[in-house]
Amino acid sequence: MPDSTSSELDSLFDDDDAGGESATATAPSSSTRGTLLRTDQVDHARKLIARFREGLGRAILGQDELLDLVVICLLGRGHMLLEGLPGLGKTELVKSLSALLGLDFRRIQFTPDLLPSDIVGSPILEEQAGGHRKLVFHRGPIFANLVLADEINRASPKTQAALLEAMQERRVTIMGESHHLPEPFFVLATQNPIELEGTYPLPEAQLDRFMFKINVYGVSSQTLQDIITTRRNGQPPELKTLLSASELQQLFDLTDQVHLPEAVSNYIARLVTATRPEESASPDQVRKFVKFGASPRAAIALAATSRAAALLKGKPNVGFEEVKRVAMCVLGHRIILDYAARLEGWTSQKLVASLLESVREVARAVPEDLSV
Amino acid sequence: MSFQLWTRKFLRRLRIGQFLQVAAEWLAIFLLSYGSLVLLVKLAFPALWPHVLWIGLGAFPLAFLAWKVVSRESFTETESVAYLDRKLNTGGLLMTLSESPDEEWQSRLPQAQLLWQNSLPRFRPVRFAKLVLVPLLFCVACGFVPLREVAITEPLDNKSTTEKNVADLKEQFEKLKQEQVIEKEEAERIERELEQLLEQKKDPLTHEKWEMVDALWQKMQLRVEQKAVLVSKAHQAASALAKAKQGGGEPLTPEQIQQLTEQIEAGMNALNGSQNRAGEGKPGQTSGKLGQMLKDGKLNLPSDPAERERMLSELRDLLESEEKKLCEMRGECKNGQCQGTGYSLEEMLANSERPGRGGVTRGRGDASLNYGHETDEQGAKFKETVLPKGFQDNPGDEIVSTTLAPPKEEVADAAPRGPERLSDPSTGQATWNRKISPKHRAVVKGYFDKP
C-alpha cells in the first residue's frame, strides 16, 4: 500500500489531550464514542470524498446515486455486489475505483471451471538450493487490495466458497497455514440477472458477507449521448490516483468517529429485528413472506454505512435519513423470501421499502392528543 | 435559551399528552362505573343518596394514579429529543448534541426562538374529548334520574288480620267489661266467641269470620251507644230538673217532671252496675244516699230544698262524668271535646206536647229535619292521607323477598286468532284439520278407500 502522509492531514487528527498522536494510530473504539468530530475534520473529510467522488464521476457518467453508494460502501469497509445487465459499466466502475485509489487491483473472471486454488493460490513443489524440494505457497489473485470478482455466479459453489474466509476474516488458509490479506481488502463482485443457465446462485452465507448489493440500472439518453460524444470506443479518460492509502485510512478513521445517536441505533436495531418473521412485532408482510430475516451482521453493516453516508454529507453524526438511504442496499439481499412472496409478486426491495414505511423512527408514537 | 430547555419542554408536553391518553381511558371507565352506581343507588338503594356522590371524588386519586403510571412508563429524553430533532430537521445533530455536547456544533442548530417554539407539540385533546364525553353525559344523565320513592319503609306487621281484629275487639271488650256496659251473660257469650276466633287465628280470614268480628264489634258499640244515650238523657234531665227546682226558666208541667224523672231513673238503672264504685269514691252522707238511690234505681229526692239541690247537683256531676267516659268509649271525642249523643232536651221538651210525646202534632212528618253529625270540613280540599300500614292476610305465608320494582305482568297466553286458530294445538283441532298437500292426497285417499 502506498505510504504518503502529510503533516497537515495528521494535524487534523491530533487529539488535544493526546499531545499530537496521529489519527492513524488512533484505533476506533468505544472510548471514542461521545467525542464528536470537529468541524475542520468533517470539512477535510468532505473535501477528500468530494475529490474522489468527482474522479469517479468523470469515469462513470450519469450514475450519481450508484457512485455515492459505492463510496459509502467503500468508507464502510465492506464488500460490494453489483448486479445489472451486461454493458452497464460494472466492471469499468471497479477498474476506475482501483485507478483512483491507487490500490493493488486484481481481476478474476469467474467461470464454471475455475478452481479455488485459482483464486487463493496453491503450494507448488519447488527445488531449493541444495537440491531438496519444498512446497512453496504461490499467492493467488485474491492477495490484492481490490479484487474484482467478475460474474461471480458463474463459478461453482466450491470456488465461490473459497471467498468466504477471505471476505470475512481477511485471510486465507492453505494446508493449515493462514495467510493474511493486505489491508484494505475489498471484494467487488458483479453478476447479471439474465443468462442464468449454467450459473450458481450465491449461497446465503456468501451473500451475507457482501455489505452492499447494488442494482445497476441503465442511464438516460442524455448520458448516453455524452458517452458517445466524449469517449472514443467508450474508453474512459485516463485516471490518476486521487486518494492515497493514508488518506483512505484517515477517511476510515473519521467514518468510525461519526456519532451514532442512541435513537438512531435503536431505529437500526428495530428495523433489522422487524425483518425476522418469528418476531411478534414484525409487520404482517414479513411474517407472511419472509423465510429468514437479516442477521446481526446486517445491523453492523447498517450502522457502518450510515456513518459513511453521514460523512459523505458532511455531518458529524448519523440521522434517520442516512439509515433509510442505505437500508435498501444492506437489507435487500439479506432477506430470504418465502415462495408465497414470489406468488404474490413481492421482492426483497419492495419488502424493505414497506418496512421503512411501517417501522417508526422513534419507537413510541406521539400521543393522539398532541400534534407534532 | 439552550436547547436543553426546549427538549425538557418537549418532553413535558409529551408526558402530558401521554397522561391525557391514559387518563381518558381510565376516566371513561370511572365515569361509566360511577354513573351506573348512581343509577343503581337511585333506583334500588335510595337510602344511600346523596352519600354516593362522595365516590365522585375518586376521580382525583385516579388521576394521580394515572400520572404515576405515566411517569413510570413515560417517554424518555432520548425519544423526546429524537422527535424534536425530526421536527427541526437537524438531521440527528440535536440528538448527538444531547448525548455529546459540543459548542462548535451547537452553533449549527437553529437559532431562532420562534422555530423552537413552533416545533413544540400542540395539544389537541380530540381523543380525550371523544372518550370522556359520552361517559360524562351518561353520568350527568344518571344524576338527573329521579330518586325512587320507597312505599314501605317500616317492617310489615306479621300479625294476621284475625289476630289484629280480635285483639282490638278484646281491648274494647275489656273496657266495656270494666265499665260494666255489657251484662254478665252477654259478656260471657262475647268472651266465648272471641276465644273461638282466637283459636282460628292461623286460618285465613273468611267472610264468615269477618261478619262475626263485625257483629261482635257492632254489638259492643250498640251497648255503649244505648248506655250513652240513656246517661246523656238522664244528665240533661237532671240538669233541667235542677234548673226548674231552682226556679230558673219556665216552670215544668207535672207531665214533664214525670218524664224527666223517668229519664233520670232510666239513666240511673243504666249506671246501676257502677253505683257502688261511685258511692265508694264519694264520702259523706249525700254520697251514701246517692249510692242507695242508684242501687234502688228510684229518684227519691229529699224534701229539704238545700239537700235536694245538692243531691241533684251530685247526680248531675256523676251523670256528666259517666257521659264523658262513655263518649270516650264510643270514640267520638275529638281534641278533648265530646260530641254527645245528639239528643236535645229542648227538642224533647218541645215535642213533649206533640202526639207520642204527650202533645198534639200533625203526624210524624211534622217533625223538623235536623242534619246532625255534619263534617266541619265541608268544602275543604281533599288531602292525601297515608294509609295505615299493611298486614298479612295469611300468616302462613312467608315473605320471600321485598321488591321495589313494579310487579311483572305475566300476560296470559292469548288464544290464537286468525288463520292460526285452525292449526294451533291448543284448539284441539290440529289433527283433523291438517291440510293435506296435493301430492299426498292420492296416497291418503288410497289408504282410506281400502276395503
**H/E element holding A138?**
strand A133-139
The answer to whether A370 contacts B105, with C-beta atoms less than 8 Å apart, is no
The answer, for A225 touching chain B at a CB cutoff of 8 Å, is no
Direct distance between the N- and C-terminal alpha carbons of chain A, in angstroms, rounded to an integer: 52
Report whether pLDDT(A321) > 60.
yes
Q: Which residue of B105, B117, B123, B132 to mutate against A (max A Cβ within 10 Å)?
A: B105
Rounded to whole angstroms, the Cα distance separating B34 from A236 reads 82
Least confident of A105-114, A337-346, B190-199: B190-199
Rounded to whole angstroms, the Cα distance separating A226 from A234 reads 10
In chain B, residues with a C-beta closer than 8 Å to the C-beta of A35 are: 100
In chain B, residues with a C-beta closer than 8 Å to the C-beta of A372 are: 83, 87, 121
Q: Using CA of residue B107, residue B110, residue B114, residue B119, what is the dihedral sign? A: negative
Which residues, 6+ apart, have CB-to-CB distance to A237 below 8 Å? A58, A59, A231
When pLDDT is cut at 50, 70 and 90, the band that residue A70 belongs to is very high
Rounded to whole angstroms, the Cα distance separating B317 from A352 reads 122
Q: C-alpha B290: how far from its chain's center?
A: 52
The answer, for A367 touching chain B at a CB cutoff of 8 Å, is yes
User: Nearest Cβ partner of A261 from B83, B95, B123?
Assistant: B95
When pLDDT is cut at 50, 70 and 90, the band that residue A66 belongs to is very high
The answer to whether B91 contacts A317, with C-beta atoms less than 8 Å apart, is yes
Rounded to whole angstroms, the Cα distance separating B130 from B50 reads 29
The arithmetic mean of pLDDT across residues A92-105, rounded, is 87
Report whether pLDDT(A347) > 60.
yes
A261–chain B nearest CA distance, Å: 5
Length of chain B counted residue by residue: 451
Least confident of A30-44, A263-277, A310-324, B145-159: B145-159
In chain A, residues with a C-beta closer than 8 Å to the C-beta of B95 are: 261-264, 317, 319
The answer to whether B100 contacts A310, with C-beta atoms less than 8 Å apart, is no
The DSSP code for B252 is: P
Q: B132 or A21, which is more confident?
A: B132
Beta bridge partner(s), residue B291:
none
Rounded to whole angstroms, the Cα distance separating A110 from A191 reads 10
Locate the chain A residue with the closest alpha carbon to B118. Answer: A372
In chain B, residues with a C-beta closer than 8 Å to the C-beta of A313 are: 91
- For residue B204, what pLDDT is reported? 66
Top-ranked range on mean pLDDT: pick from A90-104, A347-361, B249-263: A347-361
Q: Which residue of A35, A311, A370 to mutate against B (max B Cβ within 10 Å)?
A: A370
A300–chain B nearest CA distance, Å: 19
Report whether pLDDT(A330) > 50.
yes
CB A140 within 8 A of CB A123: no
**H/E element holding B364?**
none
When pLDDT is cut at 50, 70 and 90, the band that residue A310 belongs to is very high
Beta bridge partner(s), residue B160:
B392
Q: A152 or B112, which is more confident?
A: A152
Rounded to whole angstroms, the Cα distance separating A54 from A52 reads 5
Q: Could you read off the pLDDT of A34-54 as tens digits, one per residue?
A: 588 898 999 999 999 999 999
Report whether pLDDT(A8) > 50.
no
Q: 244516699: which residue's cell?
A: B289
User: Nearest Cβ partner of B127 from A264, A320, A368?
Assistant: A368
Q: 273496657: which residue's cell?
A: B175
The answer to whether B121 contacts A370, with C-beta atoms less than 8 Å apart, is yes
The answer to whether A366 contacts B83, with C-beta atoms less than 8 Å apart, is yes
Q: What angle do CA A283, A284, A290 make, to 5 degrees?
A: 90
The answer, for A189 touching chain B at a CB cutoff of 8 Å, is no
The answer, for A320 touching chain B at a CB cutoff of 8 Å, is yes
Q: Which residue of B96, B107, B109, B128 to mutate against A (max A Cβ within 10 Å)?
A: B96
A316–chain B nearest CA distance, Å: 8
For residue B31, the tally of other CB atoms under 10 A from its CB is 23
Report whether pLDDT(A258) > 90.
yes
Rounded to whole angstroms, the Cα distance separating B139 from B31 reads 6
CB A253 within 8 A of CB A307: no
Q: A14 or A189, which is more confident?
A: A189
Report whether pLDDT(A88) > 70.
yes
Q: Give the DSSP per-residue string, B327-341.
A: HHHHT-EETTEE---
In chain B, residues with a C-beta closer than 8 Å to the C-beta of A34 are: 99-100
In chain A, residues with a C-beta closer than 8 Å to the C-beta of B109 are: none
The arithmetic mean of pLDDT across residues A303-307, rounded, is 96
Q: Could you read off the pLDDT of A220-247 as tens digits, one per residue?
A: 999 888 888 888 877 778 888 898 888 9
Rounded to whole angstroms, the Cα distance separating B303 from B311 reads 11
User: ipTM > 0.85?
Assistant: no
Mean pLDDT by 10 residues, chain B (451 residues): 84 90 91 92 86 89 90 88 90 90 86 85 88 92 83 57 77 80 80 80 71 82 82 82 72 78 81 52 53 76 78 82 78 63 59 51 62 72 74 59 65 54 53 69 82 71
Range B24-27 contact pairs with CB under 8 angstroms and sequence separation of 24 or more: B24/A369, B24/B127, B24/B128, B24/B131, B24/B132, B25/B131, B26/B62, B26/B65, B26/B66, B27/B59, B27/B62, B27/B63, B27/B131, B27/B132, B27/B135
- For residue A5, what pLDDT is reported? 37
The answer to whether A367 contacts B18, with C-beta atoms less than 8 Å apart, is yes
Nearest to B235 by CA among B153, B319, B340, B149: B319
Alpha carbon separation from B445 to B423, B432, B448, B451 (Å, rounded): 21, 15, 5, 12
Amino acid present at A264: V
- For residue A71, what pLDDT is reported? 94
Amino acid present at B258: Q
Report whether pLDDT(A161) > 90.
no
The answer to whether A319 contacts B85, with C-beta atoms less than 8 Å apart, is yes
Record the cell numbers describing residue B440, joined without a space: 299426498
The answer, for A116 touching chain B at a CB cutoff of 8 Å, is no
